[in-house]
Structure 1
């Protein structure tokens, strides 16, 4: 692949479970991909190596999504390497579960710093840099519809993501840039599976009419659609959960 490909994607949180699947799917779609990491450079480089081995083009970029200087530098690194940015996918997020009555406010601030401020910082950079014909894809959660106990703090952060997504889509009028959010349901990632016994996972699988837990590749497929052919889908939240909600 050329070092100046037709389309270039930056995947925030691109070395994680869903993020890795998204990075590899967009590379398979023919995009050059910048795989972002917050702290684990080695894991991001593993994704880059896998993409390169499959015939794609990729680089790793680091930084705190909630730090505007880090994100400015990350976008600039992508532009230097590949000539511009067409697709920005922000999978980066923190999940902390506890009843509202017991929720530690320092944990709330930490989660909201990444999930809300981080999404806002990345969206602001994307709004000023994504080229015509491009797409911004944020990440929400299907739990905004499910109202599950212990998810109050997390859902508050993702409801904010949905709100800013719908507004940014309208603020970019005339730019030919779509802005949408993907809202996954239960998905078999290490983060989701951690601490859950087999019975809990089985019950969650039964909740969906398709009677299984989602796979990272299922979510990546939805992102691929929004990042590529879905030019008439704009200002929407796409619930990607097998029908659970």
Structure 2
């Protein structure tokens, strides 16, 4: 039977330098993983800090090649990269759309492709999306819209990689109390988001905290391997599908 523990496993995390990605890297390292993180290093584990703009297929391919050269083939591959744009659909320029598509959709597609080529058998692949995929809301057409295709990428990858024992999932956090959230939101919107979740009153800020999300990610890339091809929204009751 396959070993689904984290201890001794090699991990590659795209966007692992700070915020949620950084906490995931530290958390998995504490649980015994050998972590490979973008702009991240830990004295507790063997790690490599790798820099890349992941909006081209070649860059994602080089990222995996560099990571493998540094610490070996990954058992776990996690993609936390993304970009937010909150703007009326009628005001979004072609350049803005192209950038959102490259950062959110294209990079995720080719991350999954390279993960499928390089992750060891019985490995785990996880990609961050957004709880807005379960929302009926204006102004996020470019953000949620360029994250939405990842759901199908994940389903297809789960079917294609499943014969090798690899599980593939997506996680969609609610609005998170990080510097990634605030620049896109006005004061009224921030106030709304801080009260919108069913459990908002029981958190320090009313928002999702990265500490709320990490345990679920740890579970999905270890004992939760039987969950595959699905998108899990982690948001305290902010929205659902």
Using structure 2 for the length normalisation, give the TM-score. 0.89
1:223 to 201, 217, 220: 217
Instruction: Kindly report the root-mean-square deviation, in angstroms, between the aligned alpha carbons of the 2 structures.
Output: 1.6
User: Corresponding residue for 2:4?
Assistant: none
**Matched residues in 2 for 1:217 and 1:88: separation?**
20
Q: CA deviation at 1:197?
A: 5.8
Aligned positions, number: 228
**Matched residues in 1 for 2:115 and 2:157: separation?**
10
**Matched residues in 1 for 2:184 and 2:66: separation?**
37
User: Corresponding residue for 1:11?
Assistant: 13
* Counterpart secondary structure, 1:10: strand
Q: Is the 8 A contact 2:46 2:71 kept in 1?
A: no
**Matched residues in 2 for 1:89 and 1:81: separation?**
17
Whether 2:53 is the aligned partner of 1:64: answer yes
Whether 2:102 is the aligned partner of 1:113: answer yes
Structure 1 residue runs of 5 or longer lacking an equivalent are 37-43
- CA displacement 1:122-172 (0-9 Å, x = unmatched): 111000110112111011111111122110111111111111111110111
User: Corresponding residue for 1:40?
Assistant: none
**Matched residues in 2 for 1:106 and 1:197: separation?**
23
List, as ranges, runs of 4+ consecutive aligned residues in structure 1 with deviation greater than 6 Å: none
Query: Could you tell which deviates more after superposition, 186-195 or 83-92?
Result: 186-195
Q: CA deviation at 1:6?
A: 2.7
**Matched residues in 2 for 1:100 and 1:74: separation?**
33
Structure 2 residue runs of 5 or longer lacking an equivalent are 1-6, 201-205
User: Corresponding residue for 2:88?
Assistant: 99
Using structure 1 for the length normalisation, give the TM-score. 0.88
Query: Could you tell which deviates more after superposition, 194-203 or 142-151?
Result: 194-203
Matches within 5 A, 1:26-41: 26-36=28-38
Whether 2:239 is the aligned partner of 1:240: answer no
Q: Is the 8 A contact 1:27 1:57 kept in 2?
A: no
Q: Is the 8 A contact 1:71 1:125 kept in 2?
A: yes
1:206 to 185, 191, 195: 195
Q: Is the 8 A contact 2:76 2:124 kept in 1?
A: yes
